[in-house]
Amino acid sequence: MQEDNSIGIVAPQIAHFDTPLALKCGKVLPQFDLVFETYGTLNASRSNAVLICHALSGNHHVAGKYSENDKYPGWWDNLIGPGKPLDTNQFFVIGLNNLGGCHGSTGPKSMRPDSNKPWGADFPIVTVEDWVNSQARLLDYLGITKLAAVVGGSLGGMQALEWTITYPDRVDHALVIASAPNLTAQNMAFNEVARQAIITDPEFYGGNYYEHQAVPRRGLRIARMLGHITYLSDDVMGEKFGRKLRDQIKYSFDVEFEMESYLRYQGDKFAGEFDANTYIRMTRALDYYDPALRYGGDLTQALSGTKAKFLVLSFTSDWRFSPARSREIVKALLDNERNVSYAEITAAHGHDAFLMPDQHYHAILRNYISNITTGDDYAK
């Protein structure tokens, strides 16, 4: 018996694709792999699939554990499982690692098919649109024509939104959480500082650090520290750390405040497990996403071809993807008379709130998702 409604032990799978994928940047990936996990059972009419799109540093391991003693479940385990808001007794949930990632899908650290060297700096810059196209390939591979829902937070929310634009007939519901229709200049500026930290690290070697057996650890660490500051609110940092000292003031540049200790810990942890080339590409995908651009900046026009029903959620203390940005999406959907609900969740945790098991937030998700009907429901 699993405790706390966990989906239990899960294992990743790999889908290999031999048909070339044309990317937005003009380059073509001749072949690629996508690593993914699934939870729950695909129903007879293949109509209960829910795709989870990950954000900047996420991956395919969304829920469950890899072993009994695994201390860290998937990154959205609090949402997905039997009896959880996204109930695996009812839905077939798919998580994948996006193209360009560093957790098993083809990316900068993968071997090039035409040589026995890793892609490194030559791996193309992938976009939200490219990810959605590759995700559609994964659905084809799994024999799924239409998603009951696509769900994503932050950069994942941009993918959910893009699904409804590019594949309007392949998605019934889109849950766009703590996201935005594009990044503001300030938001892009944080990404640029993060990239510069990585790119100017002497261990970066122009992106070809693998062959030098080097890791641009310092750059990645600073990039992650900066990221963490922007994912939290001033209030929650104040509450969590305040001006607390670890010991007493020593008039040094060592770790003296608790906040510094936290940032360094997060930075070190991340630098040890994430790939710098992936990080700079993920931030670029964020920068470039702007579906309204093709329509002269008119988001209403950009969303005019969508058919999905939408749930748009934002968090009051999220200043990196503020409620105002979510309301822009809502307005464009209203202009198009789409079915849309919007809730602004009161939360202290800033952007990170979308990953927290806040009671009201999860109640909204649970109730929205429980109203999603699948093909088998109609047959009953």
Partner 1 sequence: MIMPNNVNTTNSVTKFRQDFAIIANWLKFGSKLLDLGCGDGELLQFLRGSLEVKGYGVEKDDANVLACIKNNINVIQMDLEDGLSGFENQSFDTVVLSQTLQAMHNTEKIVLEMLRVGKEVIVTFPNFGYWRNRWQITTGRMPVSKTLPYQWYDTPNVHLCTINDFNEFCRNHQIEIIQRKVITDSKEVNFMPNILGNLAIYRLKSR
CA 173 to chain centre: 17
Cβ atoms of 29 and 20 closer than 8 Å: yes
- Active-site residue 318, yes or no? yes
Residue 297 touching partner 1 (CB under 8 A): no
Choose, from 201, 318, 352, 358, the residue flagged as catalytic.
Answer: 318
Least distance from partner 1 to the Cβ atom of residue 198, Å: 38
Query: Which of 327, 375, 376, 377 forms a contact with partner 1 (CB under 8 A)?
Result: 327
Residue 137 touching partner 1 (CB under 8 A): no
Residue 346 touching partner 1 (CB under 8 A): yes
Query: Which of 86, 330, 353, 355 forms a contact with partner 1 (CB under 8 A)?
Result: 330
Q: Which of residues 349-378 bind partner 1 (CB under 8 A)?
A: 360, 363-364, 367-368, 371
Longest Cα separation, the chain: 72
Query: Which of 343, 356, 376, 377 forms a contact with partner 1 (CB under 8 A)?
Result: 343
Residue 9 touching partner 1 (CB under 8 A): no
Instruction: Give me the residue label for tokens 């659905």.
Output: 139
Count how many residues are written for the chain.
380
Instruction: Classify the C-alpha dihedral 301-302-305-308 as positive or negative.
Output: negative
Residue 340 touching partner 1 (CB under 8 A): yes
Q: Which is nearer to partner 1, 23 or 347 (CB)?
A: 347
Least distance from partner 1 to the Cβ atom of residue 61, Å: 29
Binding segment toward partner 1, per CB under 8 A, in 80-88, 157-165, 182-190, 342-350: 342-350
Cβ atoms of 161 and 174 closer than 8 Å: yes
Residue 145's contacts (CB-CB under 8 Å, 6 or more residues apart) are 46, 139, 170
Residue 334 touching partner 1 (CB under 8 A): yes
Residue 302 has φ and ψ, to the nearest 5°, of: -60, -30
Q: Which is nearer to partner 1, 284 or 338 (CB)?
A: 338
Residue 242's contacts (CB-CB under 8 Å, 6 or more residues apart) are 258
Half-sphere exposure at residue 270, Cβ-oriented, CA atoms within 13 angstroms? 24
- Dump the DSSP string for 98-167: PTT-SSSSS-TTSBPTTSSSB-GGGSPPP-HHHHHHHHHHHHHHHT-SSEEEEEEETHHHHHHHHHHHH-
Binding mask 40-69 for partner 1 (x = CB under 8 A): ------------------------------
Would you name the residues annotated as active-site residues?
A: 154, 318, 351
Q: Which residues bind partner 1 (CB under 8 A)?
A: 311, 327, 330-331, 334-335, 337, 339-344, 346, 360, 363-364, 367-368, 371
